[in-house]
């Protein structure tokens, strides 16, 4: 299988292999990589996933995308290692909330949010690819609290990566900070910046813009548009579907959505042959995608903070991959559309595009008040404690589900990750799971730097391992 960029407008677009998309992340033209054709699983192949473990299903789902980058035994080894330490035997267990309404818990990884399901694999894929090339990367990112720890957990103890994660001092929660600063691996550097999250992001941008520095340390981002992350997320759609009767039965999913990476993976699963009736976009008050599906306009508004901060996003980057399909895989049209979106705040949408988008996705949005009400009522009536992101999803699932089709709401974070919102709804703070119970007692390594590019650059120079002489 080959991959093309959504913005490649040359008559013969460049086609690259999996490993190259993994290491590049974003295409040089600013586009996102997508497969040049979709693998299709016949019903028998899907049926044969029944009774298999999460890692075994992952190998079957991911193999066609990975091509020759890893041999089948290498892929099995990576996947077994990636999911070995998850906190639940089933990795992604299903719980029944009500008749034909299910919750898939995607919070049993090391940082208690669904991003672990992809990043634990992607970190190991980076290692495999880089060791083969006798190379190394320096991963640099900025976090407003939530995603930094998932990237750190994915990179810790990796032979071929050092990670520097910048966070704004005093502006993230104690749990969020401790999930980064208590990791004792020598290749992990959580760096507090005396500034805001935007300052941290500006520093990261400046480091990437410094070409000699970027080259000297082989900077990389491992960010949410990386194709490998999407592939690893396709897996749990198959796991859930097969457990509830696919391919002999149709299922639906509701997905708490921000950057559109998670729900897009569901779309890919459907293209590959999983019988999915509805894919429901669930959004909080930052509801650009829901407005698109319901009102037919994709218009930017300022981001407003909500109780589900990981969904406080207006530009859902991965939507570009759907737009590429809506525009007939025409890189020129996508480039023009995205430029218009950036400059005018509105994405050009034709009637035909909209009709197709509505065939592919349903949507529902829910404000903070409704989120708290959903946490409270699901706890009282069904005895299940939801985090605010998952609550937005369950609220949408209840409204959008149709009779006789199992609706699976994806739970994207553990309630203990967002204790303030949960306490507001139910009156108590959910305890951290046993393996994180001593987090508040663990020893922290605190590094604080002033808000300037030079300090961070000096720090990276002093602490990143040299690129030369990597031992395979």
Ligand X SMILES: *Cc1c(COP(=O)(O)O)cnc(C)c1O
Binding site for ligand X (CB under 6 A): 113, 115, 146, 224, 256-262, 310-311, 389, 412-413
Cα-based angle 173, 438, 78 (whole degrees, multiple of 5): 90
CB 216 within 8 A of CB 467: yes
Spell out a b/e string for 39-71, using b for 16 or more CB atoms within 10 Å of the CB, else e.
eebeeeebeebeeeebbebbbbbbeebbeebbe
Q: How far is the CB of 48 from ligand X (least distance, A)?
A: 29
Q: How far is the CB of 381 from ligand X (least distance, A)?
A: 23
Q: How far is the CB of 261 from ligand X (least distance, A)?
A: 3
Q: How far is the CB of 388 from ligand X (least distance, A)?
A: 9
Which residue, chain included where needed, has tokens 């892929």? 75
- The C-alpha atoms of residue 344 and residue 348 are separated, in whole angstroms, by 10
Nearer to ligand X, 49 or 311 (CB): 311
Nearer to ligand X, 6 or 257 (CB): 257
In 51-187, beta strands by DSSP E: 94-98, 101-105, 137-142, 161-168
Nearer to ligand X, 126 or 319 (CB): 319
Cα atoms in the Cβ-side hemisphere of radius 13 Å centred on 457: 15
SS3 298: strand
Q: How far is the CB of 471 from ligand X (least distance, A)?
A: 35
CB 371 within 8 A of CB 286: no
SS3 71: coil
- The C-alpha atoms of residue 422 and residue 411 are separated, in whole angstroms, by 14
Nearer to ligand X, 70 or 362 (CB): 362
In 123-232, beta strands by DSSP E: 137-142, 161-168, 188-193, 219-220
Q: How far is the CB of 463 from ligand X (least distance, A)?
A: 28
Catalytic residue among 52, 115, 134, 448: 115
Pick from 41, 368, 380, 400: nearest CA to 237: 41
- The C-alpha atoms of residue 436 and residue 107 are separated, in whole angstroms, by 13
| Token digits of residue 248 | 């002999």
Nearer to ligand X, 223 or 451 (CB): 223
Q: How far is the CB of 392 from ligand X (least distance, A)?
A: 9
CB 260 within 8 A of CB 316: yes
Q: How far is the CB of 236 from ligand X (least distance, A)?
A: 12
- The C-alpha atoms of residue 245 and residue 262 are separated, in whole angstroms, by 22
Nearer to ligand X, 13 or 393 (CB): 393
Nearer to ligand X, 101 or 413 (CB): 413
Contacts of residue 336, defined as CB under 8 A and 6 or more positions apart, other chains included, come to 348
C-beta atoms surrounding 207 within 10 Å: 20
Nearer to ligand X, 183 or 230 (CB): 230
Asked if 115 is an active-site residue, the reply is yes
| Catalytic positions, written as ranges | 115
């Amino acid at each position: 299988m080959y991959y093309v960029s959504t913005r490649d407008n040359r008559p013969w677009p460049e086609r690259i292999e999996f490993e190259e998309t993994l290491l590049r992340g974003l295409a040089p033209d600013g586009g996102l990589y997508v497969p040049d054709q979709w693998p299709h699983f016949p019903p028998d192949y899907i049926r044969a996933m029944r009774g298999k473990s999460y890692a075994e299903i992952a190998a079957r789902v991911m193999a066609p995308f990975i091509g020759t980058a890893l041999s089948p035994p290498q892929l099995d080894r990576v996947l077994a290692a990636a999911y070995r330490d998850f906190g639940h035997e089933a990795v992604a267990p299903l719980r029944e909330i009500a008749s034909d309404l299910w919750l898939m818990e995607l919070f049993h990884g090391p940082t208690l949010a669904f991003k672990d399901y992809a990043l634990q694999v992607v970190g190991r894929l980076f290692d495999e690819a880089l060791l083969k090339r006798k190379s190394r990367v320096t991963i640099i990112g900025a976090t407003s609290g939530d995603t930094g720890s998932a990237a750190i957990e994915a990179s810790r103890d990796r032979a071929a990566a050092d990670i520097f994660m910048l966070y704004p001092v005093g502006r993230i929660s104690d749990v969020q900070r401790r999930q980064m600063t208590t990791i004792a691996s020598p290749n992990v550097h959580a760096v507090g910046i005396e500034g805001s999250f935007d300052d941290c992001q500006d520093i990261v941008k400046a480091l990437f813009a410094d070409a000699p520095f970027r080259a000297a340390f082989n900077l990389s981002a491992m960010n949410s548009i990386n194709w490998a992350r999407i592939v690893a997320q396709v897996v749990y759609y198959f796991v859930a579907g097969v457990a509830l009767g696919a391919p002999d039965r149709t299922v639906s999913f509701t997905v708490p959505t921000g950057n559109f990476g998670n729900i897009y993976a569901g779309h890919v699963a459907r293209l590959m042959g999983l019988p999915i009736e509805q894919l429901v976009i669930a959004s909080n008050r930052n509801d650009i995608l829901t407005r698109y599906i319901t009102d037919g306009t994709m218009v930017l508004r300022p981001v407003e903070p909500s109780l589900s901060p990981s969904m406080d996003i207006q530009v859902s980057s991965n939507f570009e991959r759907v737009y590429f399909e809506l525009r007939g895989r025409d890189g020129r049209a996508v480039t023009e559309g995205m430029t218009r979106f950036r400059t005018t705040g509105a994405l050009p949408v034709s009637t035909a595009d909209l009709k197709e988008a509505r065939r592919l996705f349903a949507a529902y949005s829910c404000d903070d008040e409704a989120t708290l009400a959903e946490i409270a009522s699901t706890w009282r009536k069904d005895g299940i404690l939801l985090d605010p992101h998952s609550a937005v999803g369950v609220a949408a699932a209840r409204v959008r589900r149709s009779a006789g089709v199992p609706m699976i709401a994806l739970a994207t974070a553990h309630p203990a990750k967002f204790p303030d919102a949960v306490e507001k709804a139910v009156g108590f703070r959910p305890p951290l799971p046993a393996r994180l119970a001593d987090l508040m007692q663990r020893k922290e390594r605190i590094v604080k730097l002033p808000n300037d590019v030079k300090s961070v650059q000096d720090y990276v120079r002093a602490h990143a391992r040299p690129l030369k002489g990597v031992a395979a």
